[in-house]
Amino acid sequence: MPQSFPVHSFEPSSRLVSNCLSNPLSKKGAIYIHIPFCIQKCIYCDFYSKTDLSLIPDYITTLVKEIKKRSESQNNINTIYFGGGTPSLLSIGQVDLLLHTIKDTFSIASNAEISFEINPGTVDLKYLEKLRNIGINRLSIGVQSFNDDKLKFLKRIHSADDALRAIDHARKARFINISFDLIYGLPCETKSMWLKDLEKAVTMEPAHLSCYMLTIEPLTALDKKVTTGTITPLDNTFMTLLFKHTAKVLNNFGFDHYEISSFAKNRSTRSKHNSQYWNMTPYFGFGAAAHSYDGKKRAWNHKSIKNYMKDINSGRLPVEGSEILDLKQKKLETIMLRLRTLEGIDIKKYKSQFNINFKEEFKDIIKSVQDNAFGCLSHDSFALNLEGKIRLDNIIEIFAKKIL
Ligand code: SF4
């Protein structure tokens, strides 16, 4: 089995999408709202966002129309996620309007997880208190680092002090379920620099941490710097070391490494929203560039805010494209997503979904993974260990060759 690999982080903002009209009776599990605005573009970011904030009011009006247009009575939403972009650029009134529209249009579980991404450079105590009061119950804070040099390199708009203040304010505003996003593997980053960041994060006692390896996404400012030779990225071997180190340190601090980039203090503080993606639960995505999945079809909205608003305001759904997942694609996606997780593939569930025994179907691959000590087959499941997760891309490739 090849040894080299890229470890990919799950990017909640590549955040999934669909138009769902093909299967009106399907039950929907999640709602994602994309807020594609940022004060400035971070060097590494390829999420769809614009810096023209004057568009926000019209965008919110359009979002409300889209949510109402795609309403379905037969659904049971148990997670709502405001991502971006920078949702914390919205006024409380705008967030409240979106939440009310969702609640008036869909059936929302009374204990629904309602997450909201905040950029530490955009919030104060009052804002967070109001967010809590209107029903947001989980915060995802884009800390990225507690090191100002790292933040400057990444072109973040905030400092380490801003992040510490935002965390303090979040607690004062009575948020308990708080997650931090952290980034590691910057050019010139040493093991001790990352360890310091990680330890600082742990001392702030978050319920959840998402630790993303810096990846060079095509056409970003970072990509340009790498292509022109201005900076040299860390090599794969060192990145692997940092990845292993992250898992080890957080494990020692009592975090559960339940997905490649995700660590939770306990089972109840895992991201319920992202877990639905990893379970291939249907979801609605609202807003420009948002994706949806109805259990059969994946669809994606226009990336361009202009085209998105034009379609909605002309009475059309703002769908740019869609694809029906055939059985092979569904199988591969299920395996791909489940192998990211601690629990891996549920053998019984796989049989009920695809009417075939996973152990029989992939006997050779399972044997090879086990012989190399990259994972383990039990009576109920097949999961990769840390060494296996490091080689996830290679292992998926082998599954893909067999399935497709
Ligand atoms: S704030 Fe977030 S979404 Fe906006 S540019 Fe930076 S990383 Fe991308």
pLDDT at position 71, please?
84
Domain end call among 278, 310, 331: 278
Residue 229 has pLDDT above 60, yes or no: yes
Distance set, CA 326 to CA 282, 295, 307 (Å): 15, 11, 29
- Kindly give the number of the ligand 1 atom that is closest to the alpha carbon of 40: 5
Residue 293 has pLDDT above 90, yes or no: yes
CA 187 to ligand 1 center in whole angstroms:
19
Ligand 1 binding pocket includes 119 (Cβ within 6 Å): yes
Residues 274 and 374 both lie in one domain: no
CA 346 to ligand 1 center in whole angstroms:
35
CA 128 to ligand 1 center in whole angstroms:
20
Question: For residue 196, is it within any domain?
Answer: yes
Question: For residue 213, is it within any domain?
Answer: yes
Q: What is the mean pLDDT of residues 233-256?
A: 97
Ligand 1 binding pocket includes 42 (Cβ within 6 Å): yes
Task: Measure the CA–CA gap between 348 and 337, rounded to whole angstroms.
Answer: 16
For the stretch 70-123, pLDDT in tens is 987 557 899 999 999 999 999 999 999 999 999 999 999 999 999 999 999 999
Tell me the CATH number at 43.
Answer: 3.30.750.200
Ligand 1 binding pocket includes 86 (Cβ within 6 Å): yes
What percent of the chain stands above pLDDT 70?
92
Residues 255 and 353 both lie in one domain: no
Residues 353 and 273 both lie in one domain: no
Residues 42 and 126 both lie in one domain: yes
Question: For residue 66, is it within any domain?
Answer: yes
Question: For residue 308, is it within any domain?
Answer: no
Residues 103 and 250 both lie in one domain: yes
* Residue with CA nearest ligand 1 atom 2: 85
Residues 101 and 178 both lie in one domain: yes
Question: For residue 235, is it within any domain?
Answer: yes
CA 99 to ligand 1 center in whole angstroms:
22
Contact in structure between 215 and 154 (CB atoms under 8 Å): no
CA 343 to ligand 1 center in whole angstroms:
31
Say how many domains are in the chain. Answer: 2
Residues 118 and 202 both lie in one domain: yes
Radius of gyration of the chain (CA): 21
**Which residue has better confidence, 187 or 20?**
187
For the stretch 370-382, pLDDT in tens is 999 999 999 999 9
Ligand 1 binding pocket includes 85 (Cβ within 6 Å): yes
What is the full DSSP assignment across 171-233?
HHTT--EEEEEEEE--TT--HHHHHHHHHHHHHT--SEEEEEE----TTSHHHHHHHTTSS-P
Question: For residue 139, is it within any domain?
Answer: yes
- Kindly give the number of the ligand 1 atom that is closest to the alpha carbon of 156: 6
First to last CA, the chain: 19
Domain end call among 246, 278, 310: 278
Residues 151 and 271 both lie in one domain: yes
CA 245 to ligand 1 center in whole angstroms:
26
Ligand 1: which of 14, 33, 38, 119 to mutate, judged by most atoms within 8 Å of the beta carbon? 38
Residue 288 has pLDDT above 90, yes or no: yes
For the chain, what is the mean pLDDT? 92
Ligand 1: which of 15, 35, 39, 41 to mutate, judged by most atoms within 8 Å of the beta carbon? 41
pLDDT at position 21, please?
31
Ligand 1 binding pocket includes 84 (Cβ within 6 Å): yes
Ligand 1 binding pocket includes 50 (Cβ within 6 Å): no
Domain end call among 222, 248, 278: 278
Residues 346 and 224 both lie in one domain: no
Closest CA to 286 of 59, 55, 111: 59
* Residue with CA nearest ligand 1 atom 6: 42
Residues 274 and 346 both lie in one domain: no
For the stretch 144-177, pLDDT in tens is 999 999 999 999 999 999 999 999 999 999 999 9
Residues 212 and 354 both lie in one domain: no
For the stretch 297-334, pLDDT in tens is 999 999 999 999 999 999 999 999 999 999 999 999 99
Tokens for 133? 């009061």
* Residue with CA nearest ligand 1 atom 3: 85
Q: What is the mean pLDDT of residues 347-351?
A: 97
For the stretch 4-35, pLDDT in tens is 323 333 333 333 323 233 333 346 699 999 99
Residues 184 and 83 both lie in one domain: yes
Ligand 1 binding pocket includes 280 (Cβ within 6 Å): no
Burial 14-50 (b: 16+ CB within 10 A, else e): ebbbbbbeeeeebebbbbbbbbbbbeeebbbbbbbbb
Residue 389: which domain range? 342-403
pLDDT at position 2, please?
29
pLDDT at position 28, please?
61
Ligand 1 binding pocket includes 45 (Cβ within 6 Å): yes
Ligand 1 binding pocket includes 121 (Cβ within 6 Å): no
Least trusted range by pLDDT, from 23-32, 131-140, 342-351, 372-381: 23-32
Question: For residue 333, is it within any domain?
Answer: no
pLDDT at position 35, please?
98
Ligand 1: which of 47, 180, 215 to mutate, judged by most atoms within 8 Å of the beta carbon? 47
Question: For residue 122, is it within any domain?
Answer: yes
